[in-house]
Amino acid sequence: MIRKQSSIEFNSAEKGLNIVKPSLLFGMQTTKWRRSIEKIDLLFLTLEALDVNTSQSFEFIARDLEISHVFPNYVAIWKTRCHNPLRRSPRNSTISIESFEGMIKILSSMSNQFYPRIRELLTSKGSTQHRSERWDKFCLRLEELITERMNIRLGLVKKYLIMTSTSDSFQKQLLLILALSSGPGGIKRLSSSIFEPLL
């Protein structure tokens, strides 16, 4: 498929991080919003599956990104993540645009920090034994986290669990999203694709 090259001209002089356009946030309390918050939370879970102590560094990342006013502590991040309707005990209150953008910034920054580990899992090169050991450990941890945090009676969560247990493509897709979300270009890619369905 050939696409026109003149779709969007990206000028090097305009490299500001305009993460989410206000027009895209129109109708936040809709399917689009629900889908995006589910996706964000699932990507956070994937990061947590990479390292047990990941959740502890969210606060430091928020401080580095100068969004401490939005997320003053770890609990604030956790509360925002609990807007995911697939959680065991979801929050029904509205989520602010600042919190939403902050979550995307943290996700991109964490992906950049964990990029070497994500790369290790995505590569097809190297010792097969070591790769399969790392992969199995990651898959097991992700499955545990989904079972622990999500409402397993919901159809979508059941679907996630079936997909994680039957094939590797779902986990690979999550890792590829994280790998491509890292860095300054990654945050733009992630923010423009955040409202798109995961499955």
Partner 1 sequence: MKTSKSYKEGIASLEVDGIPDQSLGHDSDTIGILLSWKLTLIGLTVLEGKKEHLLNLVYVILSYSRSCISGLPDSISDMAQSIKISGVKGGHELILVSTKKDVEPLTIILDDAELSDLTKCLDKILFDRSIAISWLVPLAKPFTCSKFYSNPFRFKGIVSPLVGISCLCITSFVYLNLPLFQTSPTPLEATIEKDTYSKEINN
Binding region for partner 1 (CB under 8 A): 1-3, 5-13, 15, 18, 24, 115, 118-120, 122-125, 172-173, 175-177, 179-186, 188-193, 195-199
As measured in angstroms, the least distance from the Cβ of 100 to partner 1 is 15
Residue 4 Cβ vs partner 1, minimum distance, rounded to whole Å = 8
Whole-angstrom CA distances from 79 to 31, 38, 95, 123, 187 are: 20, 14, 10, 34, 22
Of 148 and 168, the one with the shorter C-beta distance to partner 1 is 168
Q: How far is the CB of 135 from partner 1 (least distance, A)?
A: 13
Backbone torsions φ then ψ of 23, nearest 5 degrees? -65, -30
CB neighbours of residue 97 within 10 Å: 12
Q: Are 87 and 149 in contact (CB under 8 A)?
A: yes
Residue 148: in which H helix or E strand, if any?
Answer: helix 128-149
Q: Considering beta carbons, is residue 88 or 172 the nearer one to partner 1?
A: 172
Q: How far is the CB of 198 from partner 1 (least distance, A)?
A: 7
**Minimum distance, C-beta of residue 182 to partner 1, in the bound complex (Å):** 7
* Closer residue to partner 1, CB minimum distance, 99 or 171: 171
Other CB atoms closer than 10 Å to residue 174's CB: what's the count? 21
Residue 84 phi, psi dihedral angles, 5° rounding: -60, 120
- Decide whether 5 or 92 has the Cβ nearer to partner 1: 5
Task: Between 82 and 106, name the residue whose CB sits nearer to partner 1.
Answer: 106
- Measured from the Cβ of residue 191, the count of other Cβ atoms closer than 10 Å reads 23
CA gap 71, 58 in Å, rounded:
9
Name which of 80 and 111 has its Cβ closer to partner 1.
111
CB 138, min distance to partner 1, A: 14
- How far, CA to CA in Å, does 73 sit from each of 88, 91, 110, 193? 22, 18, 16, 27
Q: What's the token pair of residue 36?
A: 């995006």
